[in-house]
Chain A
Amino acid sequence: MEPRARPRAARALLVCRSASSVSRDVIMPRVSGSQHLPPDPDGRQTVAESGGASARTTFLEGVRDITPMVLAVTPFGAVAGLAAVGSGLGFHEAVALSALVNAGSSQLAALQLYAQGAPLLVILATTLVVNLRFLMYSMALAPYLHGVPKRWRLAVSHVLVDQTFAFAVRRFGDRPGAGHRVAYFLGLGIPLLLAWNGGTIIGAALGAQVPAGWSLDFAIPLTFLALLLPAIRDRPAAVAAAAGGATAFLGLGLPYNLGLIVAALVGIAAGLLAERRWWRT
């Protein structure tokens, strides 16, 4: 399906290395707060290492690795479905949103704005900011999929999310010689996509029955808290979050949540400064 890893420039090697460290502090939904990365695969004998792996076997390895995440993502999908219907989208629109965007926090952020009647460009700018991390994932993954046919890179792109990225870079980094990377990635991504959309369908179907007095819109900030707080594992990250939150508070007077974009920039700058202050010395 794809050529074996070829010798790459030192630059690419640097990217590989940074990719595996990135995977550890990625923000992602968790099952119970403990284990969100796969057990160290080195102990397992895999067909890929023994030389004659079939694409099908490698695909199934991906499916097996992602199974705990599949269970975690279904209720989150249900929240996205509930929130979509609660924000005024119809059932089909709610389902299409999850299927086409496939990025939970940006969907919830957009729904908040949609319910407030924000203009299209503001919602799209917010989507862009919330999903900027995908640029980083794309960059880190690219060296591993060098020379893969375009149609497979398109398929991989749609299922490139926090969880699939974290598992994939870990495996690709640990086993540079192993083949069938696209098969493995799709083995991670397809079950997750199905679970996400299944959850959304359930949530959107239920959401239509729930009265507005239940304030289901509040599920959105609660979800953000649950994603954010456990992911803060070092001081620069905490500083970035605190600065982002404080700036958003000060920017509340700005129309249509434009404070979000300012808050993102201030938070990033604060994180970088905190790195210099505490990490580097």
Chain B
Amino acid sequence: MVANMSQYAWLLIVSMGLVTFALRLSFLMLNGRLVFPPLVQRALRYVPYAVLAALVVPALFGGREVDFAVQPTRLIAALVGAAIAWRSGSVLLTLTLGMVTLWLGKFLV
């Protein structure tokens, strides 16, 4: 069982690496012979915004989609983190104060 888990993890890591490498190599390999139409280029610009926002949401639910209840401590810690990220732009500060808020919340509840 443990061996299988580990094999699965390695398969995942290597295939993630290949997918990502293929995306990076794509147009470089074509040697500049091909470009996307302007609409697609503009659309790609919005991918990080949409994806990062979408990644935050499930984490407020304890990271499990079967459990629909918002966890209040996580929500509050996320709001604190969002405010700090917005004001400071610092990953480190957001992480530190966001985690401290979460721990305080757990301690108090």
Instruction: List residues of A whose CB falls within 8 A of some B CB.
Output: 8, 11-12, 15, 18, 22, 25-27, 29-34, 72, 75-76, 79, 88-90, 93, 96-97, 100-103, 105-110, 112, 114-116, 120, 123-124, 127-139, 141-143, 145-147, 150, 153-154, 156-158, 160, 214-232, 236-238, 240-245, 247-249, 252-257, 259-260, 263-268, 270-272, 275
In the complex, which residues of chain B have a beta carbon less than 8 angstroms from the beta carbon of A129?
Answer: 47, 51
Report A-chain residues with C-beta under 8 Å of the C-beta of B45: 22, 25, 136, 271
A116 surroundings in chain B (CB, below 8 A) = 63-65
15 further interface pairs, Cβ-Cβ under 8 Å (given A139-B36, A160-B24): A88-B5, A100-B13, A109-B51, A116-B65, A124-B12, A132-B44, A135-B27, A136-B45, A138-B27, A139-B34, A146-B32, A156-B28, A218-B99, A222-B98, A223-B91
Decide: B58 and A139 in contact? CB cutoff 8 A.
no
A226-B85, A272-B43 known; A27 and B48 CB under 8 Å? Answer: yes
Do A245 and B53 have beta carbons less than 8 Å apart?
yes
CB-defined contacts of B47 to chain A, threshold 8 Å: 129, 132-133, 264, 267-268
* Chain A: minimal CB distance from B73 (Å): 9
A148–B106 Cα distance when bound, in Å, is 56
> A26 to B11, alpha carbons, bound, how many Å?
30
Whether A11 and B35, one on each chain, are in contact in the complex, defined by CB atoms closer than 8 angstroms, is: yes
B60 to chain A, nearest CB (A): 7
B1 at the interface (CB under 8 A from A): no
